[in-house]
Structure 1
Amino acid sequence: MAVPSHSESTDLTSPPPSKITDLNEDSLSFCATYLSLQDLSNLAMTCKFLKRVAYSDSIWQRCFSERWPQEVARISSKTSSGVRDAYLARHASLHQFKFVDPLSADLYTDAKSFDHIMLDKNDIIFSQGSSIRTVKIDSFLNGKDSVATLSDHNARITSMRLFPIYETSLFRSESQRKENVLVTSSCDHSIRLWWKVRVWDITTSSAIRSSCCVGMTTLPGTPVDMKCHESLLYFAAGSSVGAVDLRTMQKVITAAIYQPKLYSFAIAPSKSLVCTGGNGKALLWDTRRNQETLKPEPLAELDGHTGPVTLLHMDPYKIVTGGPEDLCINVWEAETGVQTNSFICCQSEDVGHSSRCTAMAVKGTQIVTTAYGEESGIVRFRDFFNASCPVLKHEDEHSSKFWDPQCYSDSNTDSSDI
């Protein structure tokens, strides 16, 4: 009879290999409390067992308490469907501005019209005429001198955009990857790139414009605006909205929307939803569905505007609309077009003496709006990240068009600080 070798006898007595799913769920849940939200999402997509682990209340209790420690005591009233659902519901509500008590502060400037404004990390960037100013948000909220003026153009600024520095020739190292370059154009026929106070000036002329054009597609009417998302270039002109894939240079979306005149448009990232601003209202469209019909119909009409809707923002959670003849900025759910909030751009006591909403920028839970009057301009910053008092709908549907619009002021600077 053959005698098994030492290695064979060892293999016969060794236990089978362990798998992660052999571990206790409570132990795995404890380990998963150290994961990021992205890692938790990846864990939930692997299998049903790990999905149950990733959805454990203990994990989401930790996420909730780390992000909103002041709200932990309120979770008990929202946990009928789990702490994860409570976390996601609050996250969505904050991004939809469904609260009346955001952190709010006002910055007073010269009494000039605001042409453009944007949010970039810790900075508010805005233009008035030929001037560009930047505001450090944390210094501004702490009452410190936070305003800097960049070198002026020689004429009114017509456009401002932010581009990742790694997409430009200024990119030198990986440490710069998360930084942005500010690009501005002006009526003085110049384009300037701004980065860390340095400026590169590019003088434009009709002679060089024609040499750098690439033929892609045309639309009837005067172009309104263009926006980029991933590899798609979205554009609007006349009564049509379309998109071109920059990798293939092929048109991928075209939708005639039959709105008499377009003043603005916005796109929802990773979706086929487009919002267009017209006279007195904005319209929400599904561009891919509209390709299959000769007479496209909007998903929703966003009414409540006095004149043209020139201010328009759209993200996966919300649509924000306004215009130069509107007293209020309106907020709507991105998927349904249901209104969630509205608020004014100036001090309530200055309503009769100030302009309406002239510029707007939105990023996540933050929004900044502008207005100006005879004596000063006002930049109003709101952040809903730690808001806790929800918007309540009036019992009488006809008593007010809006839902409890309130104005909170925490001004820390005045025009003498500029």
Structure 2
Amino acid sequence: MPSVFFGSLCRLFPLIDTPLFRSDAHTNEKALVTSSTDRTVRLYWKGHSRCYKGHSGPVTALADKLLGDGEFKVLATGGEDCTIRLWSMNTRAKKHPLVSTLHGHEKTLSLLSVAWHKSSLLVSSSKDTKVKVWDTMAPPSSVSSSCVGHTYLNSSGPPIAIKCYESLCYIAAGSEVTAIDLRTMKKVSVLALGDQRIFSCEMMPSEWLICTGIKDKALLWDIRKSQELANTVAELHSDGPVTLLHLDPYKVVTGGPCDDQVHVWETQTGHLVNTLSCNNPVKSAGRSTLSAMAVDGCRIVTTGRSTEGSLLHYQDFLRSSVPVALPGEEVSKFWGPQEYDDEGTDDDD
């Protein structure tokens, strides 16, 4: 992998869902996307890399999924320049990947999420708590009218997490998680944590779960119940603010800037399963601090900084063979670490 400056955001997309997929041998491979304060977005997949340039300021938002269907797949990014850029993932568009630029926000883009019920709809939010919905399939000549809905959160802080499910969009900001119906742009529910500021949030509405990271723990909520502290599914304790979160039906992964480790918990019980160092013991002599994390099944990618500069750390547990023992002589679904580096990547750019 080429030496680059990694920013504060990264995403993993299934290669099979992109035009980059070439054979069944790549069925389980992932494409990694990172953003940077150097105004670039970089795409990595097995043996290749690509650099997208177009933003006039740091890239501050990456969409959680790819827009579009079939061969027409588009990556959405947002920046400090208050614009949303749409990039073609098609290999034939390598030299001219910018599809269009969406204008309408007046403050730095915070979050981007693809609507669940229609893959051409993109939900965006900015630091002034403005929320917009865009029809990204609108003709380029109609970009100015591609905004099909908007609202304000009226929260006590900027948006820090977003997740679409069916026709709803969940947005965490300040001390609240607000659900908005994208068909009407009206609020349908609010989870309020009182005076607890939310640093991170992950949502799994299909399982009725929301996980919120606060100053010294992560709280797992069942959104069907009354939103009071006594009704949390679990409290996942931390030595500092939980700014990084991953949530799936089997595990919760937490991390933050005060630590060089991520912690893995069981979703159903809240039991701590494993603690994983995000330092590379061979290439890094000093401790690193975490700035971003992407988790896909048994794969975890983290980015951070150490005394030697920026660091991307990739851990893959698929081939590990040492089980983690849990209380009661159970065996966890999560396994001890085995690491390897991908060598010999080349840059298409």
- Say if 1:259 and 1:278, in contact at 8 Å, map to a contact too: no
Which residue of structure 2 lines up, in the alignment, with residue 338 of structure 1?
A: 271
Which residue of structure 2 lines up, in the alignment, with residue 245 of structure 1?
A: 181
- Say if 1:365 and 1:384, in contact at 8 Å, map to a contact too: yes
- Say if 2:13 and 2:65, in contact at 8 Å, map to a contact too: no
Q: Which segments of 5 or more consecutive residues in structure 1 lack a partner in the other structure?
A: 1-106, 140-145, 396-402
Which residue of structure 1 lines up, in the alignment, with residue 141 of structure 2?
A: none
**Deviation for aligned residue 1:225:** 2.5
Letter in 1 for 2:246: H
Q: 1:264 to 1:351 in 2, by over 3 A?
A: same
1:410 lines up with 2:347 in the alignment: no
Larger RCO, structures 1/2 (Cα 8 Å, 6+ apart)? 1
1:114 lines up with 2:16 in the alignment: no
Q: 1:350 to 1:165 in 2, by over 3 A?
A: closer
198, 201, 204: which is aligned to 1:268?
A: 204
Larger Rg: 1
- Between structures 1 and 2, the one with greater strand share: 2
- Say if 1:281 and 1:303, in contact at 8 Å, map to a contact too: yes
Supply the RMSD in Å over aligned alpha carbons.
3.4
User: What's the secondary structure of 1:270's corresponding residue?
Assistant: helix
Q: 1:337 to 1:280 in 2, by over 3 A?
A: same
- Say if 1:253 and 1:287, in contact at 8 Å, map to a contact too: no
Q: 1:384 to 1:256 in 2, by over 3 A?
A: same
Q: 1:391 to 1:158 in 2, by over 3 A?
A: same
Q: 1:404 to 1:240 in 2, by over 3 A?
A: same
Q: 1:257 to 1:350 in 2, by over 3 A?
A: farther
Which residue of structure 1 lines up, in the alignment, with residue 296 of structure 2?
A: 363
Which residue of structure 2 lines up, in the alignment, with residue 126 of structure 1?
A: 34
Which residue of structure 2 lines up, in the alignment, with residue 39 of structure 1?
A: none
**Deviation for aligned residue 1:380:** 2.3
**Deviation for aligned residue 1:348:** 2.5
- Say if 1:239 and 1:259, in contact at 8 Å, map to a contact too: yes
161, 180, 189: which is aligned to 1:225?
A: 161
Q: Distance in 2 between matches of 1:219 and 1:378?
A: 34
Q: Distance in 2 between matches of 1:308 and 1:318?
A: 19
Q: Distance in 2 between matches of 1:232 and 1:283?
A: 22
User: How high is the TM-score relative to the length of structure 1?
Assistant: 0.59
Fraction of identical pairs, as percent:
34
User: What's the secondary structure of 2:194's corresponding residue?
Assistant: coil
Q: Distance in 2 between matches of 1:220 and 1:308?
A: 18
**Deviation for aligned residue 1:264:** 0.9
Q: 1:220 to 1:154 in 2, by over 3 A?
A: closer
Q: Distance in 1 between matches of 2:283 and 2:195?
A: 34
**Deviation for aligned residue 1:309:** 1.4
Which residue of structure 2 lines up, in the alignment, with residue 302 of structure 1?
A: 236
Aligned residues: 284
**Deviation for aligned residue 1:248:** 5.3
User: How high is the TM-score relative to the length of structure 2?
Assistant: 0.70
256, 263, 268: which is aligned to 1:323?
A: 256
Q: 1:407 to 1:157 in 2, by over 3 A?
A: same
